[in-house]
Structure 1
């Protein structure tokens, strides 16, 4: 009899629930979007209650689609948009402010102050991260400073802080468990990456009271059990948890040092397994957690591009040149080239390896002959080209040259984009049979904790490839594209 795992993938634009069996077959996949809130330019918020309602709705629909009952779910795994920050009342469970999303840039001034005061070097050494509004530290500080009475209540132990994993775990357990996993904790600017523990000096720097912090746990253990969740039996173990990119690295079976993946979602995120010892980047990449299993830590190196799929959404919603996101591939294929147009997708600043929070998007090289098809093709090229900068920095830091890059996320269905990525990187691109590897990683962590999967070897044996993309352009053409790209970067 099959044992089913429920994976909750709480993303930036919506919540997806996947039901998998013990042979890694997807029995159901359901997604529900929720509202994006933009109070001011460069501010991005979510209503935590909308996130919770989307979770409940997708849980109910997924079990219906899978044709299973509440008794058939053996384990629940959670993966989530990272850095997004929630503060809530411990008694009522009610958030005291909208969640501040990872894309939000409102704390740029505070970050610059911290940099000017000479804090970046020691913070990076302690956390593996750079000082940037992207991370949670200044987000929680902002909430405490802008909600009346919040700081005093936090110091008194009345408020809880968490990333979305913690918030969902709290709600799923009926307010009984306040924990986070090591991968999400590593993205807050508050955790010592060597000790895998909250750091008092960092808490002091960001003015975050320790009583509001969750307990840090590993990525695969029983954190708690469900209580009062419609459609889910009380007592169902919640036993796998990881930030979305860490879950995707695991779901791509990048279990050995030097193996890497890129997830194409709202942004694009490249992670490389670097083994059990941290690698200190010389090219402004991040040192971060891969995962923690059975007391052993696997580290990763990460480079993030803040905008990938969101660039396509902007072409759809902002410019209106397509009606549905998937139409961009067909439109881009109607021209043979972008006509030397460069689109830099810096709609929320530039991430690694540039780290320019104030950067803005650019479409450069327009002529009277430019059409919507040229812009569409240039947008796809920009998504791919920004990853080349990240991967080259990663190879220089690690000393290893990748043979292949595994890819996942919704945009990997775009074959033109995947071919562009292979061409511009000059590397093989490998797309797995299950491209929802973020949810898959959460399910694998949960399945390991419950004994549904015996070990990593069993998981690797069951992992399957859908398609591979080999480079099809010569070195000179590749360099031409890279030169144009770097000229475009000068203009953001």
Structure 2
């Protein structure tokens, strides 16, 4: 926004006259879908701009001022399930329909998974991963390397989250396929991980672009630690799969320490959740139940649920009607401790600070 104001002819003048709108993609979509009648966003998307004060729940004058932005030109911030106007998709629909669900990507997934109570946690497995824990109506400030953000606003109240984002989770599988040529398809990883030697301590630390939460070391480099004579293709693939679960466990442990609650259940979504080996190992190493639903696209399901609930089309039993596959911890406590300590030691070898 600051770049546009400085470099696009007439933008600064329009901003000074209040003739310009600044916002995120959702506010642009609402504006376009309603024919310019409404320019609104919700708390989850507003919190992503870094211009919104998540404690005062309004655009931050001081931060906006640093970028030369007038908060009056930002979108109106509303509850995620509020009335965002009506649309007929520019004449495509025979009549207008209300827009009643606006949520950010990870926030939509958290809501769609039914993580409505404090302590409930979800992990989205994609190219990278987003892990979120609902901490309720009072913000929890992290001292263990994760961040505090807004979950959503519903019925006049906001919920906060603790969140950790990872750079390389599903992208590790892509690396094994595209760059190392160890697999031809991600589907192969499950069988290879199953047949690999299980009693070694081989770790892949995927710091290809540094490490995100909870380490925050942009200069860390990737490494394979613990190779021996039995290390072959299957073992490296298994280490690639397992590093996804280890990283998510790091985040879960950090959140648990900050919030003072044990994560008894992790609700997951995304393509890699089809890998049964990964899901069982995630349950084993995090020592928690892992729930895998029969749907994947919770970033879209979440706002759809929010809209339906707001309009009374269904009630909260909608979250209970989901088919889920449950994985429970099967690893012995001593082995879990040994393996996780090995992971932490492997990570320590790549950290620069």
- Common fold, TM-score beyond 0.5? yes
**Aligned equivalent of 2:254:** 393
Give the distance between the partners of 1:150 and 1:284, measured in 2 at CA: 42
TM-score calculated relative to the size of structure 2: 0.88
Relative distance call for 1:381 and 1:234 in structure 2 (3 A) is same
Give the distance between the partners of 2:339 and 2:141, measured in 1 at CA: 30
Aligned length: 349
**Aligned equivalent of 2:326:** 468
Unaligned runs of 5+ in 1: 1-139
Task: Report SS of the residue matched to 1:444.
Answer: helix
**Aligned equivalent of 1:155:** 15
**Aligned equivalent of 1:298:** 159
Deviates further, 330-339 or 380-389: 330-339
Relative distance call for 1:180 and 1:346 in structure 2 (3 A) is farther
Give the distance between the partners of 2:176 and 2:72, measured in 1 at CA: 44
**Which one of the candidate residues 169, 175, 184 is aligned to 1:308?**
169
**Aligned equivalent of 1:340:** 201
Q: Map of 1:84-95 to 2, 5 A cutoff?
A: none
Unaligned runs of 5+ in 2: none
**Residue 269 (structure 2) pairs with residue 408 (structure 1):** yes
What's the CA shift for 1:242?
0.7
Query: Are the aligned partners of 2:291 and 2:325 in contact in 1 as well (CA < 8 Å)?
Result: yes
**Aligned equivalent of 2:52:** 191
Give the distance between the partners of 2:238 and 2:20, measured in 1 at CA: 48
**Which one of the candidate residues 482, 485, 488 is aligned to 2:340?**
482
More strand by share: 1
**Which one of the candidate residues 140, 147, 169 is aligned to 2:30?**
169
**Aligned equivalent of 2:225:** 364
Task: Report SS of the residue matched to 1:255.
Answer: coil
What's the CA shift for 1:444?
0.6
Q: Map of 1:195-274 to 2, 5 A cutoff?
A: 195-210=56-71, 212-229=73-90, 231-233=92-94, 235-274=96-135
Query: Are the aligned partners of 2:5 and 2:12 in contact in 1 as well (CA < 8 Å)?
Result: no
Give RMSD over aligned pairs. Answer: 2.6
| CA deviation profile, 1:205-224 (whole Å, cap 9, x unmatched) | 34444354222111102212
Relative distance call for 1:346 and 1:325 in structure 2 (3 A) is same
Relative distance call for 1:151 and 1:351 in structure 2 (3 A) is farther
TM-score calculated relative to the size of structure 1: 0.65
What's the CA shift for 1:174?
4.2
Give the distance between the partners of 2:94 and 2:222, measured in 1 at CA: 47
What's the CA shift for 1:176?
4.2
